[in-house]
Structure 1
Amino acid sequence: MNFTQFLQVLKARKAIVLTVFTVVVLTTLGISMIMPKRYTAELVMSIDSRGLDAVTGQPINSFLTPAYLATQVDTINSHNVALKVVDQLGLANSPEARQRWEDAGGEGNFRDYMADSLMGKLEVKPSRDSNMITISYTSPDPHYASVVANAFGAAYQKMLVDIRSANAQQNNDFFQQQLKGLKSDMDRAQQRLTEFQQKEGISATDERMDIETQRLNDLAAQLGQAQSATLDAQSRARGGVSSPDVLNNGLIQNLKGTLASQEAQFKQMQESNGPNYPKYKEMEAQVQATRDQLNQLLRQYSGSVNSVAANSASRQAAVENAMAEQKARVMDLKKRRATMDALTADVENAQKAYAQAQQRSFETMLQSRNSSTDYAILKSAPEPNGPSGPRVFLNTLLAVVVGLLLGISFAWLAEVMNRRVRSAMDVELLLDVPVLADLRKTRRLRRPRPPMLNGPKAA
C-alpha cells in the first residue's frame, strides 16, 4: 500500500479516527482537571570542593573521588535519613498516618512505613557541572512539601555530623587505648636508660669520653717519640767502643792523646837505650797503665750507651703498654656510649610515638565535638507559589499526539479486518486483473455562455 491508498483509507475511516482522538483527548483533559494538585518544594545545597578538615586543616581525599557527589545523593535518599525526618517532624505520632498504615495491613514497623512513604515522593538531583544538590519533595499541601524538603536537608546534615562524630569517637577510643601501652613503653625505656647510666656512671653530658680520647692521642704522640729515641739509641749502641759517642768523648780523646805521646816516647827509648835501661820498665808500666785506663773508659762509656738504648726500649715498651690499656679503656667507653645511645634512641622513639598518639587523640576528640559540615544550604525550600502538577497543557498536548496515533491505528485495524475497494489500484492489487475503464461519476462540464452583442436587455 502506497501513501495515496493510506490517505484514502484515513479519509474513508475518518469517523473512527475522530472518535478515538476525541475520546483520548477529552478523557485526558478530564482526568487532568479532576486530579488533585501537587506542589513541589526545592532545596539547593552546595558542597565545599576544597574538602579541608576543620581541625587539622589537611585536605580530605574523599572529595577528590568522582563518585563523591553520587554517594551524597544516595545518602540523602537513604532510609536512615528518612527515619530522621520522621522523628524530626513527629510523623510517627500522626493518627491519620497510623490509620492509613493499619488500613494497608499494618505490616512491619510504622516508622519504616512512614520513611518509605516519604522516600516515594522525594527526588534528589546532582548538578552536572557544579557541586550542587537539589532536594525536591512533592505533596498536595504546599506547606507540608516545604517542611519536608527542609527537614531532609537538615536531617542529611545531621547524618553527616553523626557519622563524622561517631568515626572520630571510635578513633579517639582507639588512641586512648594505645596511649596507655605507649606510656608504659616510654617509661620502661626511660627506666632502662636511667639504670644503665647509674650502673656505668655516665650521662648524656659526660666528658669522660673526650678526656680519655685526648689521653690516648697524647700516649700515641709519646710512643712515637719513644720509638724514635729507641731507634737512635740502638743505632748508637751497635758500634760498641767504636761508637762515635764513645770516641768523641773529651776524656777519652785526652787519654788517647796521652797514650799516643807515651807510646812515642817509649818507642824512642826502645830504639835508643834498649830494654836494660833503668827507666824502660817504668815507661812501659806508664804506657800500659794509660792503655788500661783508656780501655776501661771505652768499656764504661760503651756500657753507658747500651744502657741508654735499653732504657729507651724499656720506656717505649711502657708507653706501648699504657697505650694498649688506654685504647682498651676508650673502646670500652665507646661500647658503653653506643649502648647508652641505643637506649636514648629507644626513649626518644617512645616519646615521639607517645606524642604523636597524644596529638591524634586530641585531634579526634575535637573532631568528635565538631558540628560543622562542608555543606551549605544556598536556598531553603519555600512554599511553592503554584502547583507543579497535574500539567494540563502538557498532558493535553501528549493526549493529542497519542489520540491521533491511536485513531490512525484503529482506522487501519478496521480497514484490515474489512478491506474495501476504493480505487482502480485496489482492484489491480486485490483481484490481480487489469482495469480497462473507470466508470465513476464525474462532474458535468458547464457550457460557456455566448457573448452579448448589443449589451444587456432593458428590464
Structure 2
Amino acid sequence: MSRHLPPPPPGSYPALVRTSSLPAHMSWPQAAAQVEPPGAEHVSPFRLLAVLREYKWMILGITLAVSAPAVFAISRIPATYEATSLVMIDTRKASFRDLQATVAQADVDAVGINTQVEILRSHGLADSVVQQLHLTDNPEFRRAVDARPLVGRLVAEVKGLFSPVAPPKPLTPYERQQATTGVLMNRVSILNDGRSYIITVTAHTGDPQLSAAIANAYVSTYLDFKRDLKIQAIRRANGLLDTQIAPVRERLRKAEDAVEQYREQNGLVAAQIGPDGQGGTVADQQLTQLNSQLVTAQADLAMATARYGAGHAGGTASAPEVVASPMVQQLRSEEAQLGSRVASLSESFADNNPTLQAARAALAQVRRQLGAATSDVVTSSRKEMVSAQARVDSLQHQITELQKQVASESHASVQLKQLQSEANAARNIYQDFVGRLEQTSSQAGLQESEADQIAAAQAPIGPSGPKRTQYSALAVLVGLLAGIGAALLRSRVTQGVRSLAQLEALTGLFGLGLVPSSQGGPMRHYRSGSTGSIYVDAVENARNLMAFGQDRFRAQVILVTSAEPGEGKTTFAVSLAANGGRDGQRTLVVDCDTRQPSALRVAGGAAAEAKHGIVHDVLPGVDVFTFASEARERGAMVRVDELRQMLDQMRPIYETIVIDTPPVLAYPDAAVLAQQADGAVLVVRWNETRQAVVNAAMRRLRAYDVRMLGGVLTQVDLNQLGAAEGDMVRYHAHYNRKSLAA
C-alpha cells in the first residue's frame, strides 16, 4: 500500500544558504587533499572475486597465452635418464697419520669432504672420463657441442642482415675435446649432504646405459687418481729419506759433543740432567726453591696484614678475627642477655633496686671481659703479621745473595743453552727422519685408496625427467597468476569511482546512495507498481535523506546534474520524482536541458509531447515540465527569471520539484540555475567517470557557490561492489526474500 506523505509545512526546508555539504571543520582543499588514490582502499575477498568475474575472459586469455607455449615447449623436451654412483670417503686404511712429507690423509670433516668433492668436479678428472669413454664420438655429445646458443644465432641473423656471415669454423680435435669436457661437467652433479661421508655422483643423459657408464667412470677415475697419488707420494718420501738421514745423524753427533765439551770447560755442573740432555745448575735449583718459598711467605704476610688492617679500619670489635673468636662470641651472647635483663628490670624497678644494681654490675663485668678478649685477639693478629714480615725479609736476603752467585754463571749458561737448543733441534730432526723411514717401510696400506665405491651406478629403467606434468601444472599456474595480476592491475589503475567512501573522499560530498543498473528505465519500476525492487529502494534511500534527513540534506527543489553526458542524471531525476509519486506525493520534473530535452522520453511520454509546457501524470504522481520554446531555438539555457517565476508558481502545488540540467562541464546551466534550487545533487557513473572529471565538475559548482546536497553513484554493477556495500546489497536481497515469503 502506498504511503501518503503530507506536504511539508512552510519553512521546513532550509534557506538558500550557499554552503557545501563538507563537515564544518573541513574546507574544500582539505577534503580534496584526503582523496585516496585508486585502489588504495582495502581489497576484500568479495572485491577480488568481483574483479575476477569482471575480467574472467582476460584472465583466461592471458593464462592460455602464457601456458600453451610453455606446455608445448615442455612436451618437446627430450627425456633424460639419471644414474647415480656412491663413494664413501674412508681414512682407516692408511697405516700412519703423521707422515707430512707424503700425501696427507683426508680428515673426516667438512673441509676434507669438500676437498674430495672438488677433486671429483675438477676439469682434469672430467677430461679423463671423456677420453676413457670416447665421448667426443658420442652422437649426443657431438650434437651438444655443435649446437649454437640462441643468443649466438640471433646475433648471427642480425649481422647477416647487414653483411654476409662466414660459416662457423670447424673445431680442432683439442677444441672438441675441451668442449665435450664442458658439456660433460654440466651433465654430472657431485654432491655431499654435509652430514655423512657419502658423495653421490649422478650423470644425466638421454641414454640410460651411457648415464650409468659415465657415473661409474667418474668413480673409477677418481679412485685411480687417489691410488696413484699415494704411490707417487711413497716414492718421493723414500727418496727423500734415503738422501737426508745420514747428514742429519752426523749433525746430531757434533751438536751433542759440543754441549759436553763446553760444560766441562766452564765447570757448569748440572743438578739434574733430563732425557733431552738439558739440566740446570745447583744454584739455579736453589734460587728456584727460594723464590717459591718467598711467594708463599709474601702470601702469608698479605693475609696477616689484611686481617690486622681490617680490624683497625672497621674497629677492633668488627675485625674478622674478633668476630670469629669463640670467647668473644660467648661474651657477646652473655652481654646481650644481661642487657636485655637490665632493660627489663629498669622498666619495673627504681635505680636503687638491688636486683637492678646487681644486673648492671654483671653487665659491666662482662663488658670488661669482652674488651680484654678483643684486645688479646688484636694483639695476636699483630704478632702474626710481624712474624710473617720477618720471614719475608729473611728469604729476600737469601735470594739476593744467591742471585749474585748465579749472575757469575749467567754468561756461560747462555752459551750452554744455545748449544743445547741446537742439539735438541738436531735430535728432533733425526728422530723424525727415523720415524718416517720406519713408516714408509710398510706400504701395503698406502697402496689402497682412501675412498670406496659402495654402490655402482645401474642403468635406469625409466626416464627421470623432465617432470612434464608438474612443469605443465606450474606453467598453467604461472599463466593464471599472470592473468589475475593483470586483472588486478587493470582494476587498480582504473580511474573511476567505485564506492561512496571514495566519492566522499574525492569530492567532500555525502554519498546519498548507490543506484544499480536497470533495464527498462523508470517506466518498468514505477508504472507497473512492482515491489521489492532494489533499484526503487536505492532511489528511495536517497529521497528519504533529502526529505527526512538532517537540515543540510533537506530540499523541496532539487537540481540534478552530472559532470559529463551518459552518467544517468535524467534517469535518476525522473526516478527521484517517481519515488515521491509512488508514495502519494505530487512531484514535478523540470527539464532545463534546452539542447537535448529527454526527461519526458525517459519518463515514458510520447516524443511529440516534448514541447514547452507541462505534461501531467507521465508516471503515477509525476508531471514533466519542458523548457523547449525560444530557449531551444537560440541554443541557450533557460533564463533565470523565467525559471524563478515558474518555481514560485509550482512550489505550493508540488511537494518535490526535480530540475534536470545539462552536464556541468559541457554547459554552465546547472551552476547558474542551481541558485534557484534548494540544493544540487551530483550524479556520477560508477567505475566509469574519471576522478579528474569529477573534481573538475566540483570546482565549477563550488565556483558558483552551489549548495550541494550530496552525490549519487549510478549504473552500479552490484556484483562488483566492495565488502561493506556488497553486504548491504546481500542483506537487502535476503530480507526481501523473507518478506515476500511471509
Asked whether the equivalents of residues 52 and 58 of structure 1 are also in contact (C-alpha less than 8 Å), the reply is no
2:431 matched to 1:389?
no
Q: Distance in 2 between matches of 1:391 and 1:12?
A: 35
Task: Pick the aligned partner of 1:91 from 114, 135, 139.
Answer: 135
Tell me the percent identity: 24
Describe the superposition over 1:392-413 as per-residue Cα deviations: whole angstroms up to 9, x where unpaired.
2221332243222211121123
Offset at residue 30 of structure 1 (A) = 2.1
- Out of 361, 372, 377, the residue aligned to residue 453 of structure 2 is 377
Residues 67 and 121 from structure 1, CA distance in 2 versus in 1: closer, same or farther, beyond 3 angstroms?
Answer: same
Q: For 1:3, which of 32, 35, 43 is the aligned residue?
A: 43
CA, structure 1 residues 356+13, in 2 after alignment: closer, same or farther (shift >3 Å)?
closer
Cα deviation for residue 56 of structure 1 reads 4.4
Q: Which structure has greater helix proportion?
A: 1
- Alignment-mate amino acid for residue 398 of structure 1: L
Deviation at 1:172, TM superposition (A): 2.2
1:146 aligns with 2:212: yes
Greater shift after overlay, 9-18 or 356-365? 356-365
Q: Distance in 1 between matches of 2:235 and 2:134?
A: 29
State the secondary structure of the residue aligned to 1:136. Answer: strand
User: In the alignment, is the contact (CA less than 8 A) between 1:91 and 1:114 conserved in 2?
Assistant: yes
Shift in Å, 1:112: 2.3
1:98 Cα deviation from its structure 2 partner? 6.0
Match of 1:135 in 2: 201
- Confirm or deny that 1:41 pairs with 2:107: no
Deviates more, 1:8-17 or 1:100-109: 100-109
The answer for the alignment partner of 1:79 in structure 2 is 123
Residues 89 and 449 of structure 1: CA distance in aligned 2, closer, same or farther (over 3 Å): closer
Q: Are the structure 2 counterparts of residues 22 and 420 from structure 1 closer, same or farther at C-alpha, using a change threshold of 3 Å?
A: farther
User: 1 or 2, which has the higher strand percentage?
Assistant: 2
The Cα of 1:42 is off from its aligned counterpart by 0.8
| Local SS of the residue matching 2:61 | helix
User: In structure 2, the residue corresponding to 1:385 is in which secondary structure?
Assistant: coil
Cα displacement (A) at 1:109? 3.4
Number of the residue aligned with 2:56: 14
How is 1:175-324 mapped onto 2 (pairs within 5 angstroms)?
Answer: 175-179=241-245, 181=247, 185=250
* Structure 2 equivalent of residue 276 of structure 1: none
Please tell me whether residue 27 in structure 1 is matched to residue 103 in structure 2: no
Paired position in structure 2 for 1:405 = 481
Counterpart residue number, 2:232? 166
Distance 2:126 2:493 in 1: 55
Write the mapping of 1:410-429 to structure 2, written as runs, cut at 5 A. Answer: 410-425=486-501, 427-428=503-504
Q: Give the secondary-structure state (helix, strand or coil) at the position aligned to 1:67.
A: helix
Q: Deviations over 1:226-246 (max 9, x none)?
A: xxxxxxxxxxxxxxxxxxxxx
Q: Using the alignment, how far apart are the partners of 1:13 and 1:36 within structure 2?
A: 37
Q: Give distance in 2, aligned partners of 1:103 and 1:3.
A: 50
Tell me if 1:63 matches 2:103: no
**Deviates further, 427-436 or 138-147:** 427-436
Distance 1:449 1:92 in 2: 85
Structure 1 residue 55: Cα displacement: 4.1
Whether the 8 Å contact between 1:122 and 1:137 is mirrored in structure 2 is: yes
Contact map agreement 1:427 1:435 (CA 8 A) in 2? yes
- State the alpha-carbon separation in 2 of the partners of residues 396 and 103 from structure 1: 26
**Alpha-carbon distance between aligned partners in 1 of 2:195 and 2:741, rounded to the nearest angstrom:** 78
User: What is the CA distance between 1:391 and its match in structure 2?
Assistant: 0.6
SS state at 2:511 partner: coil
Q: Could you tell me whether the CA contact under 8 Å between 1:169 and 1:365 is conserved in 2?
A: no
Contact 2:234 2:440 in 1 (8 A): yes
Query: How far apart in 1 are the matches of 2:231 and 2:175?
Result: 28
Q: Distance in 2 between matches of 1:100 and 1:64?
A: 38
Please give the secondary structure, in 1, of the residue aligned with 2:464.
coil
- What amino acid is aligned across from residue 54 of structure 1 in structure 2? A
List runs of 5+ in structure 1 lacking aligned partners: 193-345, 451-459
1:155 and 2:200 correspond:
no
* Count of aligned positions: 287
Match of 1:120 in 2: 186
Q: Would you say the 8 A contact 1:126–1:134 is kept in 2?
A: yes
- 1:169-223 per-residue CA deviation (whole Å, 9 max, x = no partner) reads 222221232256569x59x99xx9xxxxxxxxxxxxxxxxxxxxxxxxxxxxxxx
Per the TM alignment, residue 158 of structure 1 is displaced from its structure 2 partner at its CA by: 1.3
Residue 80 (structure 1) shift: 1.3
Question: Closer, same or farther in 2 for the Cα pair 1:91/1:363, shift >3 Å?
Answer: farther
Query: CA, structure 1 residues 367+86, in 2 after alignment: closer, same or farther (shift >3 Å)?
Result: farther
> How big is the shift at 1:138?
0.7
Distance 1:28 1:431, change over 3 A: farther
Match for 1:139: what amino acid?
T
CA distance in 2, matches of 1:449, 1:363: 104
Report the aligned-residue RMSD: 3.9
In structure 2, do the counterparts of structure 1 residues 173 and 430 end up closer, same or farther at CA, with 3 Å as the change threshold? farther
Deviations 1:404-427 (A, max 9, x none): 221112112333454445554554
- One-letter identity of the residue aligned with 2:229: I
Quickly say closer, same or farther: Cα 1:101–1:138, change in 2 above 3 A. Answer: closer
Quick one: which amino acid aligns to residue 156 of structure 1?
A: Y
Q: Which amino acid aligns with 2:94?
A: A
Residue by residue, what CA displacement relative to the aligned partner does 1:4-37 show, whole Å, maximum 9, x if unpaired? 4444333211211122223333333222222111
CA distance in 2, matches of 1:92, 1:449: 85
- Report if aligned partners of 1:164, 1:368 keep a CA contact under 8 Å in 2: no
For the Cα contact (< 8 Å) 1:122–1:135, is it kept in 2? Answer: yes
Cα distance in 1, alignment partners of residues 476 and 144 from structure 2: 37
Contact 1:168 1:368 in 2 (8 A): no
Deviations 1:68-110 (A, max 9, x none): 1111111111111101111211224558856865676538633
- 2:92 aligned partner: 52
Quick check: 1:169–1:364 contact (8 Å CA) kept in 2?
no
C-alpha change, 1:117 and 1:380, in structure 2 (3 Å) is same
Q: Which has the larger radius of gyration?
A: 1
In 2, distance between residues paired with 1:365 and 1:103? 55
TM-superposed CA distance for 1:375, in Å, is 1.7
CA contact (8 A) 1:149 1:381 kept: yes
CA distance in 1, matches of 2:463, 2:477: 24
What secondary structure is seen at the aligned counterpart in 2 of 1:176?
A: helix
The residue that corresponds to 1:434 in the other structure is 510
Cα offset, 1:363, TM superposition: 4.7
Evaluate the alpha carbon distance shift between residue 398 and residue 143 of structure 1 in structure 2; reply closer, same or farther with a 3 A threshold. same
